[in-house]
Homo-oligomer: A and B are copies of this chain.
Amino acid sequence: MAPWGERLAGVRGVLLDISGVLYDSGAGGGTAIAGSVEAVARLKGSRLKVRFCTNESQKSRAELVGQLRRLGFDISEGEVTAPAPATCQILKERGLRPYLLIHDGRPVRSEFDQIDIINPNYAGESFSYQNMNNAFQVLMELENPVLISLGKGRYYKETSGLMLDVGPYMKALEYACGIKAEVVGKPSPEFFKSALQAIGVEAHQAVMIGDDIVGDVGGAQRCGMRALQVRTGKFRPSDEHHPEVKADGYVDNLAEAVDLLLQHTDK
């Protein structure tokens, strides 16, 4: 690979994935990944523009930011690009009334407070058979069914282990109904672009840092960004030999990525 100075030349902005890069979610609010609190602080103290770009689909931005602040991170709601608010925007623009396949008690529900929702009397676990079947029946009754998925991640890492993400459930409904979902969130190009717009940085001037070789690294590269994969979160050694996606660099954690960025760009 080319030296870091070449690989990071011209970088003006950084998109940071949250889960698996800043912290691992889990019981009691999860745990910060070693060195990440300081790394975010150093990055925000530099001349680089920073935006948090997450596929979080269980917590509202308010809850997510609250948890991260309790772990010591310098982060505010206005710095976060997340799929739930982006989805609300699409629902409003297209006049769609959604059936939400999310836990009524989950904080992300609050992101949809201003939206007219079909049958909000769901209950229990979001991806229970009953809730999945209700969503399936709603889709099958529509002439033109629209399925919007908040990201399509395969799995994420909690402190207790790997956990199924929303992607497998999106695939299940696609197959059951014979339809194709619209993905709002990484790796959708529109989603990355909205994060870049928020900090006024062009794709070729930006680097994405994430733990997901396909959703973060591959998605960002298809948008014309560079991308680094951290060896934290859901990273697995086989990711470095992925058949289709090759990161612009692999780093042990966010702290190492920030070291390199500050050393090679902040001049």
Residues of A within 8 A of B (CB): 125-130, 132-133, 136-137, 140, 154-155, 161-165, 167-169, 171-178
Contacts and interface: CB of A to CB of B under 8 A. Distances in A.
A172 B137 CA distance: 18
Given A133-B164, A140-B162, A164-B132, A154 B126 contact: no
A186 to B, nearest CB: 16
A132 B166 CA distance: 12
Number of identical protomers: 2
A32 to B, nearest CB: 24
Chain A facing B: main interface SS: helix
A134 to B, nearest CB: 10
A159 to B, nearest CB: 14
Contacts of A130: 125
A171 B162 contact: no
A133 B165 CA distance: 10
A173 B164 CA distance: 9
5 A-B pairs closest in CB distance: A168-B172, A127-B129, A168-B176, A172-B172, A171-B175
